[in-house]
Amino acid sequence: MSGRILVAGLGNIFLGDDGFGVEAARRLGAMPLPDHVKVSDVGIRSLHLAYEMLEDYDTTILVDTVSRGEPPGTVYVIEHEPEANLEPATPSVDAHGMGPDAVLALLRTLGGTPANVLIVGCEPAEIEERIGLSETVLGAVDEAVEVILELIAHEGRPSQQPRDAVGASDRGRR
């Protein structure tokens, strides 16, 4: 049997491209997926996500906007590397605006350990008050869904195919 996988779409649909993770989760939720995969549209309920991650998941894939200075629409796969002997931090808890780092810090505070955590992110074009993704980011949602399906197929392990280097622990795709 395959390990349990949680795919969580984060973001605020009222802030333009910040709704990227929510849209990706919506599309994945409409697809037939293996029974061991749970897709959750977390939206701005990041506090709920930290509690959900306390469950016994082998892999968690967080889907969110990620600003790393690349062109808008760039899709990233970032492998979270848990720090050795990290003491639980006191995270800034804002139930309506916690990003992946704050969620992982809260998870540690709650006694959880972020095991295999991947972030599938997209470089935003516009984060402003409005509903709907920019055309560029909307076009990147399909690529992100493909990446997530690939991660699911590989049990939460990124494939070894070459990708553009973005950093030591993350991989970018265009």
Residue ranges of domains in the chain, CATH in brackets = 5-173 (3.40.50.1450)
Strand ranges across the sheet with 59-65: 37-43, 5-10, 59-65, 116-122, 75-79, 170-173, 164-167
Residue 165's pLDDT is 33
pLDDT at 2: 67
Task: Output the pLDDT for position 173.
Answer: 47
Predicted confidence at residue 145, as pLDDT, reads 97
Host H or E run for residue 124: none
pLDDT at 82: 63
Chain centroid to CA 107: how far? 15
Q: How far apart are CA 123 and CA 82, in angstroms?
A: 23
Q: According to the model, what pLDDT value does residue 170 have?
A: 44
Q: What is the value of pTM for the model shown? A: 0.81
Q: Give the whole-angstrom CA distance, residue 95 versus residue 87.
A: 22
Sign of the Cα pseudo-torsion (65, 71, 76, 81, in order): negative
pLDDT at 103: 82
Give me the tens of pLDDT residue by residue for the chain, a chain 174 residues long. 468 999 999 999 999 999 999 999 999 999 999 999 999 998 887 778 888 888 889 999 999 999 999 999 999 999 887 653 344 444 455 544 667 777 888 888 888 887 789 999 999 999 999 999 999 999 999 999 999 999 999 876 665 543 433 333 344 544
Residue 130 CA to residue 73 CA, distance in Å, equals 18
Residues 6 or more apart whose CB falls under 8 angstroms from that of 90 comprise 105, 109
Specify the amino acid at residue 68.
R
